[in-house]
């Protein structure tokens, strides 16, 4: 299990995201600087113990209406070759030293572990406590079988689509939408999903889809 270190980060994750989020096509804020707060999420374990994997939810209070964003982050001890376009920034970790933070949708280790989670072979972990399951993360899949991890990544206004040559699409909802009446209903054609919760700026809990799978398993 990944160890959660109680230490310093320079700059902080929120400081990195304040600069990075407005450059994303799915960002819904205005022209001013985001006002971000950490609001929820979960972690996954890298079986090799090399890459930190976090699915962070942040809220932004800078616009007319508060917004919530899902930001999958992969933390590495060295730069990832060929992923310069996905670099969120670098941080100095008080225990681990320099860390490279990437948009995790472009990191093969994070994507592989997300697929493992959807397949039911991994468990979401608490963001803040070592060796503790994330109780509010719900994973469901309509069929069995292995999923491909050979994804093409596309960012658009609605989020991030991970598409395989065989056809299945794993869509990450980056601008999160709370489920109506607090009950998530899978969209038509969905074959799997990851649902999580976060804290709204008014202190209430919201629940919604983090990721939705469309299409079947690998042949």
pLDDT tens digits, one per residue of 107-137: 999 999 999 999 999 999 999 888 899 999 9
Distances (CA, A) of 40 to 37, 47, 117: 9, 23, 18
Distances (CA, A) of 198 to 55, 119, 146, 182, 204: 11, 23, 29, 12, 9
The DSSP code sequence of 174-212 is SB--PPGGG---PPTTEEEEEEEEEE-TTS-EEEEEEEE
pLDDT grade, residue 32 (50/70/90)? confident
pLDDT of residue 219: 44
Per domain, the residue ranges of the chain are 9-214
pLDDT tens digits, one per residue of 75-112: 999 999 999 999 999 999 888 889 999 999 999 999 99
pLDDT of residue 218: 60
pTM comes to: 0.94
Mean pLDDT, the chain, integer = 92
Evaluate whether 86 touches 106 at the Cβ level (below 8 Å).
Answer: yes
> What distance in Å separates the CA atoms of residue 8 and residue 101, rounded to the nearest whole number?
15
Task: Report the SS3 class of residue 5.
Answer: coil
Evaluate whether 113 touches 91 at the Cβ level (below 8 Å).
Answer: no
Tokens of residue 104, six digits: 């995790």
Please report how many Cα atoms fall inside a 13 Å half-sphere around the Cα of residue 11, on the Cβ side. 12
- Count of H-run helices and E-run strands, the chain: 2, 12
User: In this structure, which long-range contacts are made by residues 138-143, counting pairs with CB atoms below 8 Å and at least 24 apart in sequence?
Assistant: 138/184, 138/194, 138/195, 138/196, 139/192, 139/193, 139/194, 139/195, 140/186, 140/192, 140/193, 140/195, 141/191, 141/192, 141/213, 142/190, 142/191, 142/192, 143/191, 143/216, 143/217
Residues contacting 1, CB < 8 A, separation 6+ = 45, 125, 130, 131
pLDDT of 150 higher than 70:
yes
Residue 70 pairs with which residues in a beta bridge? 57
pLDDT of residue 11: 96
């Amino acid at each position: 299990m990944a160890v959660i270190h109680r230490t310093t980060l320079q700059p902080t994750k929120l400081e990195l995201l304040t600069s990075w989020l407005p450059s994303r096509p799915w960002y819904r804020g205005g022209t001013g600087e985001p006002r971000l707060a950490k609001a929820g999420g979960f972690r996954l374990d890298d079986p090799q113990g090399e890459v930190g994997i976090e699915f962070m939810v942040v809220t932004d209070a800078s616009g007319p209406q508060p917004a919530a964003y899902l930001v999958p982050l992969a933390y590495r001890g060295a730069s990832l070759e060929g992923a310069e376009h996905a670099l969120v920034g670098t941080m100095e970790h008080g225990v681990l030293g320099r860390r490279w933070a990437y948009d995790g949708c472009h990191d093969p280790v994070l994507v592989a572990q997300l697929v493992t989670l959807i397949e039911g072979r991994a468990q979401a972990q608490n963001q803040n406590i070592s060796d503790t399951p994330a109780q509010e993360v719900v994973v469901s899949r309509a069929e069995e079988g292995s999923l491909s991890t050979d994804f093409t990544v596309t960012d658009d206004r609605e989020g991030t689509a991970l598409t395989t040559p065989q056809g299945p699409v794993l869509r990450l909802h980056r601008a999160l939408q709370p489920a109506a009446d607090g009950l998530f209903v899978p969209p038509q054609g969905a074959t799997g999903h990851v649902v999580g919760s976060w804290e709204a700026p008014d202190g209430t809990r919201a629940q919604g889809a983090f990721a939705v799978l469309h299409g079947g398993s690998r042949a």
